[in-house]
Structure 1
């Protein structure tokens, strides 16, 4: 099976700075939503799996809890370590095979991380394994076709180039865990109890000035990579048309937040 870009740590190392600047402020809003559904205290140990730039880990640290942030990208881990307070540790680690003991954490989170794993079932099982009985597993997943620029590109590409529709797709885990029933069943299969699942919507605010450098804005999306230069020009023009006179184009993005006991 051919490895996808999102499965390669080097891809995320290269994208770390851009991700921290653009995606991190957006995903932080959903991380805060996840934290609002649990109670963390200073005596708790918290795990953030596939932490990215640390949206959840850094927010959880404000509760005083001891937080371990893990990611398979050294570049992402370095970003977390550079801004982490004393109660946050950041380590390079594969979320599908956590180098951690059983039942060592009071709560394990993954904010749009496990959904990207080649073996997302193993990722969920590892979260359950390292969570103590009675502890919590918290997962954020994207609904439907993803979020932010990925969602916008999917919608525009389907409208402008319908014959191309279906040639690229979201990771299997993002599709499966974007359905509430599948999400609930998958967490139960992994070893958690049936979760409470909430739907949360926030706008990704696309600064229209970023369209001057569309490769930086859209380059991580497979829907962009699949287009030729002429098609990309059409996409940029369509986004400008949608924005009209606005300086910011809001892209409503829907997530599922699941909270389950171990």
Structure 2
């Protein structure tokens, strides 16, 4: 999770699959946030810019940051003129205090090795009274294909020791703890909402699953026979759901919106 080169290698698959999915949550998260041409917005751990692009389309001046040079280059290539992208560590942002009106991190800070420092940095660069938008997954296994594979492996291969999820994911999936950690970081009165969207897993990826899933520890840990069993289970679930080309995977996020404390 904390190797930028790993994320660099994921860009094509990420853009094809994860980006449209996370953009749904970003649009929902920013729907009630006042953003316009005079708004300065920071997107931390931007990926290929799902939240940054939502804000930029509303006219904001946006800085998108990520520790993956490849992701940043992709954002810079696809973004409009009012969106800049820079390589930056979200645990040590090279940004002055109180610089931004709105700061965002959709499913990013929760993955940081020192996620509490990431939250403090998010607060530091938000102006007093400014707004922070933080997205986390409600399920400890995350969302989308990772969530599906976790369910399948627990059912079909209960003897396997599954990869350990980042501490931030397991802590911030609880609304009360998410609220407390944001307050401790420097925000006040976080409002937390649940948002659910289906990840539409294309069944044709199972024809070349190693190419699409080859960077997922939940997949690479399996033997060839176990991979066949897992793929068969995915197809079985699709048949049970009455779908032909895709398997919907309901995934729920917690969206926290808070203001930076003025004192």
- In 2, distance between residues paired with 1:236 and 1:18? 18
Q: What is the aligned partner in structure 2 of residue 150 from structure 1? A: 146
Once the two structures are overlaid, the 10-residue window that deviates more, 186-195 or 125-134, is 186-195
8 Å contact 1:117–1:173 — kept in the other structure?
yes
Runs of 4 or more above 3 Å deviation = none
Query: Alignment length, in residue pairs?
Result: 256
Q: Could you say what the CA RMSD is over the residues aligned between the two structures, in angstroms?
A: 1.0
Match of 1:247 among 241, 245, 248: 245
- In 2, distance between residues paired with 1:10 and 1:107? 29
1:106-151 CA-to-partner distances (Å, cap 9, x unmatched) read 0100010001101100111000000000001110101112100000
TM-score (norm 1): 0.95
- In 1, distance between residues paired with 2:90 and 2:216? 22
TM-score (norm 2): 0.95
Q: What is the aligned partner in structure 1 of residue 123 from structure 2? A: 128
Match of 2:95 among 92, 100, 108: 100
* Residue 158 of structure 2 is aligned to residue 162 of structure 1: yes
Q: How does 1:11-160 map to 2 (within 5 A)?
A: 11-144=6-139, 145-160=141-156
SS at match of 1:194: strand
8 Å contact 1:37–1:259 — kept in the other structure?
no
Q: How far apart are 1:223 and its partner, in Å?
A: 1.4
Segments of structure 1 that go 5 or more residues without pairing to the other structure are: 1-5
- In 2, distance between residues paired with 1:216 and 1:46? 35
Q: What is the aligned partner in structure 2 of residue 3 from structure 1? A: none
SS at match of 2:253: strand
8 Å contact 1:185–1:194 — kept in the other structure?
no
1:182-228 CA-to-partner distances (Å, cap 9, x unmatched) read 11011111101131000000000011111111123322322112211
